[in-house]
Amino acid sequence: MTSLTERAEQAATGTEPEAPYTPPTLAAEPLPDIDIEGPGPEGPEQVSAVVAWSRVMDDIRGISKREQYNAAGTRYNFRGVDRTVNAFAPVLRRHGVLVIPSDVQASYRDFTNSNKKIQRECTVIVTWTIYGPKGDHFTAQSAGEALDSADKGTAKAQSVALRVLLLTAGMVPTGDPDPDSVYIDRGEARIRSAEEYRDEILDPKTSPQRLSIIRDELDSLRMLNSRVQNETGELETLDSIGGRMYMERTGGGS
């Protein structure tokens, strides 16, 4: 929503207000029906919280990665929050298990995205209290993070933390093939030259995260002190060049 001042300027100049950035929406697959009988009129069996949770684990044998993200040149399959909760909720009710957030520690960071719009990153660490049918409980923690341009970042991050808790504490497999079941003989990998590493470090498209990985690679190859010509033609170590580029791209220096 624009302010009165902005609207007055737009009326005076005849310019149209810039449309707000809207992230790509992904078509959601309908959630499957979960046929789980309730505990019955007598309620769930009165067992400890740990035993009740183990029975929840026994009932949920797998949640497949049926949802797909395909936007901004990135494509992958995942198990979403709704699919996970849809599978767990009736089983938790059947065994009289409650999953309650008892403490949330949140941190925030604002940044400008590629469309020059302000977004807020929210990271949370949630402590969950898991109650059994007898009223006893145990606690667990999980983390989640999310981006949002409005006021939903915290709710999104907590939803991610809930998914992480359920899938991790429930030890829920995906049903996908084990990646170690396929052996690929790649042959002997070619060691990159110091000049190739220099070129990647100096490339403006190389992210700070990639620069950190490059430094680890150079350290393992004992090439941090390799001297090459830098962008001005002077001799400089790869470690020094990488450090300068990292500081520039993270706003830590020029």
CATH number of the domain to which 133 belongs: 3.30.390
Yes or no: say if 214 and 201 are a contact pair by the CB < 8 Å rule: yes
Is 183's pLDDT higher than 70?
A: no
**Contact at 8 Å (CB) between 132 and 104?**
no
Closest CA to 43 of 135, 129, 111: 135
Check residue 49 and give its pLDDT: 96
- Give residue 244's region: left, alpha or beta (phi > 0; psi -120 to 50): alpha
Residue whose C-alpha is closest to residue 28's, from 69, 87, 64, 88: 69
Same domain? For 101 and 145 the reply is: yes
Task: Give me the number of domains the chain comprises.
Answer: 2
Residue 175: pLDDT band (50, 70, 90) is low
- The pLDDT tens digits for 52-105 are 999 999 988 788 776 666 666 666 667 888 888 888 999 999 999 999 999 999
DSSP β-ladder status, 98-112 and 227-229: unpaired
Name 124's bridge partners.
106, 144
Instruction: Please choose, from the candidates 117, 173, 127, the residue with its C-alpha nearest in 3D space to the C-alpha of residue 148.
Output: 117
pLDDT for res 149: 81
In residues, how long is the chain? 254
Residue 163 lies in a domain: yes
> Can you tell me whether residue 10 is helix, strand or coil?
helix
81: containing domain: 27-169
Q: Are 57 and 165 contained in the same domain?
A: yes
Q: Please give the Cα distance from 59 to 97 (Å, whole number).
A: 13
Kindly report the average pLDDT of the chain as a whole number: 80
Question: Does residue 151 belong to any structural domain of this protein?
Answer: yes
The reply to whether 157 and 46 lie within a common domain is yes
Residue 162 sits in the same domain as residue 67:
yes
Asked if residues 102 and 128 have their Cβ atoms less than 8 Å apart, the reply is yes
Integer Cα distance of 4 and 72 in angstroms: 35
Residue 26 predicted with pLDDT over 90: no
Choose the final residue of a domain: 169, 186, 212.
Answer: 169
What's the pLDDT tens digit per position in 111-161? Answer: 777 677 888 889 999 999 999 999 999 999 999 999 888 888 899 999 999
The per-residue pLDDT for range 194-241, each reduced to its tens digit, is 999 999 999 998 888 788 888 888 887 889 999 999 999 999 999 999
